[in-house]
C-alpha cells in the first residue's frame, strides 16, 4: 500500500472549533486551525484562552489575517499589515512562533503571496481541491477536499482554478459522482491509499455546526483514522517541505 499522510485544517476560529478539536482528538487526528484576530464578517472568534488550550493539546494555531479581509482588492501595504498584524497578535497570545497562514476565501490576489513570504510565514494554504499533494507552490498550498456538500458547479469551479488539469479531474469526478460526503470521502481516500501522498481535508467549524455535519464528520474521521496510521497524521506545519 502506498504511503498516505493525513492533514486537516479548519478556518476562521469560530468558538465551535473547540468542539471540532475534541472530535479530532477523539480520533487521534491532528489539525491546523487558521485564526483571524477578529472577523469583520461578524462571526465570533475563539478567545485567547481557547487558542492557548488548543496549542497545548498539540494542534497548530496558524494565521488567517488580522480581521478576515479578502486580499484580492486590497492595496499592497494593507495586505502587508493584515498579514503582519494577524501573525503578531497570535504570537502575543500564544507566546510562540506562528509559521502557517491561509488566504481568506482562498485567493491571494496580486500581493498576498509576496506578503506571506515577507511576513515570515513558512507556508500559505489556498483552497484548491483535488490534489493528493500540497502542489508545487508552498505559498499557495492545495488541498484534497473541503468537508462541504458541494454541488457539481462548485466542484467544477474549483477544478477550473489554476487551469483544471487531467490529474485533478479524476479526483473531482470521483467526488462528484459519489453523490454525498460519506461516499465522496471514501472514494478519495481509496484513491489516496492507492497512489500515496497527502490527504488534506479542510473546512470551517462554523459550517459543520450550521449544517449539522457533526455526525458526518465523526464518520469521516473514523474512516480516515482506520485508513491512515497515527504516525502519518500531521499538522500542516509538520508536512515535509
The contact set with Zn ion (CB under 5 A) reads 11-12, 104
Sort strands 197-204 and 4-11 into parallel, antiparallel or unpaired.
Answer: parallel
Chain position whose Cβ is nearest to Zn ion: 11
Please state, in angstroms and rounded to a whole number, the distance separating the CA atoms of residues 40 and 38: 7
Query: Which is nearer to Zn ion, 82 or 191 (by Cβ)?
Result: 82
Residue with Cβ nearer Zn ion (33 or 192):
33
How does 202-218 read in b/e, with b if 16+ C-beta sit within 10 Å?
bbbbbbbbeeebeebbe
Least separation in angstroms between CB 11 and Zn ion: 4
Q: How far is the CB of 237 from Zn ion (least distance, A)?
A: 18
Nearer to Zn ion, 39 or 191 (CB): 39
Least distance in angstroms from the C-beta of 233 to Zn ion: 23
Smallest gap from residue 187 Cβ to Zn ion (A): 26
Measured from the CB atom, the residue of 40 and 157 that comes closer to Zn ion is 40
Residue 12 vs 128, nearer CB to Zn ion: 12
Helix locations, the chain, DSSP H = 17-26, 48-56, 76-94, 112-118, 152-160, 166-178, 181-195, 205-210, 214-227
β-sheet bridge partners, residue 202: 9, 146
Q: How far apart are CA 141 and CA 208, in angstroms?
A: 22
Least Å distance between CB 39 and Zn ion?
8
Amino acid at each position: 500500500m502506498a504511503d498516505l499522510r493525513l492533514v486537516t485544517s479548519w478556518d476562521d476560529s469560530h468558538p465551535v472549533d473547540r468542539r471540532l478539536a475534541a472530535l479530532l482528538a477523539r480520533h487521534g487526528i491532528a489539525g491546523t486551525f487558521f485564526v483571524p484576530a477578529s472577523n469583520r464578517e461578524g462571526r465570533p472568534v475563539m478567545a485567547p484562552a481557547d487558542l492557548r488550550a488548543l496549542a497545548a493539546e498539540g494542534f497548530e494555531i496558524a494565521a488567517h489575517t488580522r480581521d478576515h479581509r479578502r486580499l484580492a482588492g486590497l492595496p499592497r501595504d494593507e495586505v502587508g499589515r493584515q498579514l503582519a498584524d494577524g501573525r503578531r497578535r497570535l504570537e502575543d497570545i500564544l507566546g510562540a512562533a506562528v509559521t502557517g497562514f491561509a488566504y481568506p476565501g482562498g485567493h491571494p490576489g496580486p500581493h498576498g503571496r509576496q506578503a506571506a513570504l515577507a511576513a515570515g510565514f513558512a507556508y500559505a494554504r489556498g483552497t484548491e481541491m483535488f490534489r493528493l499533494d500540497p502542489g508545487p507552490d508552498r505559498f499557495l498550498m492545495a488541498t484534497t477536499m473541503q468537508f462541504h456538500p458541494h454541488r457539481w458547479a462548485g466542484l467544477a469551479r474549483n477544478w477550473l482554478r489554476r487551469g483544471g488539469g487531467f490529474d485533478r479531474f479524476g479526483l473531482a469526478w470521483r467526488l462528484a459522482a459519489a453523490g454525498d460526503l460519506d461516499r465522496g470521502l471514501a472514494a478519495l481516500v481509496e484513491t489516496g491509499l492507492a497512489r500515496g501522498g497527502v490527504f488534506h481535508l479542510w473546512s470551517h467549524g462554523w459550517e459543520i455546526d450550521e449544517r449539522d455535519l457533526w455526525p458526518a464528520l465523526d464518520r469521516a474521521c473514523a474512516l480516515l483514522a482506520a485508513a491512515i496510521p497515527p504516525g502519518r497524521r500531521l499538522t500542516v506545519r509538520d508536512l515535509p517541505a
